[in-house]
Homo-oligomer: A and B are copies of this chain.
Amino acid sequence: MTYQLHYWPSIPGRGEFVRLALEAAGASYVDVARGDEQRGMGVPAMQRLLAGPDLARPPFACPFLVDGKRVIGQTAAILLYLGPRLDLVAKSEADRLWTHQIQLTIADAVVEAHDTHHPVGSGLYYEDQKKEALRRAEDFRKARLPKFMGWFETVLERNTRNDRAAIPHLVGGRLSYADLSLFQLVDGLRYAFPKATGRVLKKAPRVAALHAGVAGHRKLAAYFASERRLAFNEEGIFRRYRELDA
């Protein structure tokens, strides 16, 4: 079964959290909005599902996943669905819920990282909210970024399965979709706030080790070297505006 992933074609954004799970598992998928419009793909195909009258259960926004008749929106819900199917989550209900709880906290951090450059409104240009962005980014760097990373570090530290592991994992002794998402969050933060993130990671060595470990994952390393991996840029969630870092 080939999954369909629907997301904006020019940014990694939230779609990347899903893409990493699909790639790490070697799953068969089509990145619909990056496909050829002549062949019924591209952004119009995505918009048709998002804004059209056809779906009984329409997603609020992209990314969304199509699996046969199922259409699933919300990044964390997509990963909740894919986790067992891609063998990227443990088997027990307790472990699955804990993985999801971590994922939701990663999602909260993603919103806050985005809002550093869009504190007034996501529909407005950065240039029209730059003054507000300077204040919000300062609060993010000083208060929120250390708080989030400190919590992830604690989670890794208290996972006893990491005591003798070469690469730390958030849940138990195996790779989960939450590990992949934390990798992507850290990757984005290092792009957007190289100075602030560098400082914070010095105090979160396990988070830094997880990031390095995921980067070295065999299938993902091949993916990162491919054209399928989109670079961070100033249209996405993680943007490098030098004035917002310090």
A143 contact set on B, CB distance < 8 A: 121, 123
Describe A's contact surface by its main secondary structure: helix
* Cα distance, A119 to B101, chains bound together (Å): 25
Stretch at the interface among A23-31, A52-60, A220-228: A52-60
A135 contact set on B, CB distance < 8 A: 120-121, 129, 132
Q: List A148-167 residues whose CB lies under 8 Å from chain B.
A: 148, 151, 154-155, 158-160
A246 contact set on B, CB distance < 8 A: none
Chain A: interface residue count, which band?
A: 35 or more
Are the CB atoms of B129 and A101 closer together than 8 Å? Answer: no
A119 contact set on B, CB distance < 8 A: 115, 119-120, 132, 136
A74 to chain B: closest residue by CB: B104
A131 to chain B: closest residue by CB: B132
User: How far in angstroms is the closest Cβ of chain B from A122?
Assistant: 8
* Cα distance, A144 to B121, chains bound together (Å): 9
Which residue of B55, B105, B136 contacts A74 across the interface (Cβ within 8 Å)? B105
* Residue A117 at the chain B interface, CB threshold 8 Å: no
Q: Which of A60, A115, A140, A159 has the most CB of B within 10 A?
A: A60
**How does the 8 Å CB contact mask read for A81-105 relative to B, with 1 for contact and 0 for none?**
1000000000000100110110011
Which residue of B56, B120, B136, B154 contacts A139 across the interface (Cβ within 8 Å)? B120
Which residue of B74, B77, B151 contacts A60 across the interface (Cβ within 8 Å)? B151
A64 to chain B: closest residue by CB: B101
* Residue A72 at the chain B interface, CB threshold 8 Å: yes
A100 contact set on B, CB distance < 8 A: 74, 77, 80
Known contacts A80-B97, A143-B123: does B58 contact A155 (CB below 8 Å)? yes
Taking Cβ atoms with an 8 Å cutoff, the residues of A that contact B are 55-60, 70, 72-74, 76-77, 80-81, 94, 97-98, 100-101, 104-105, 108, 111, 115, 119-121, 123-124, 129, 132, 135-136, 139-140, 143-144, 148, 151, 154-155, 158-160
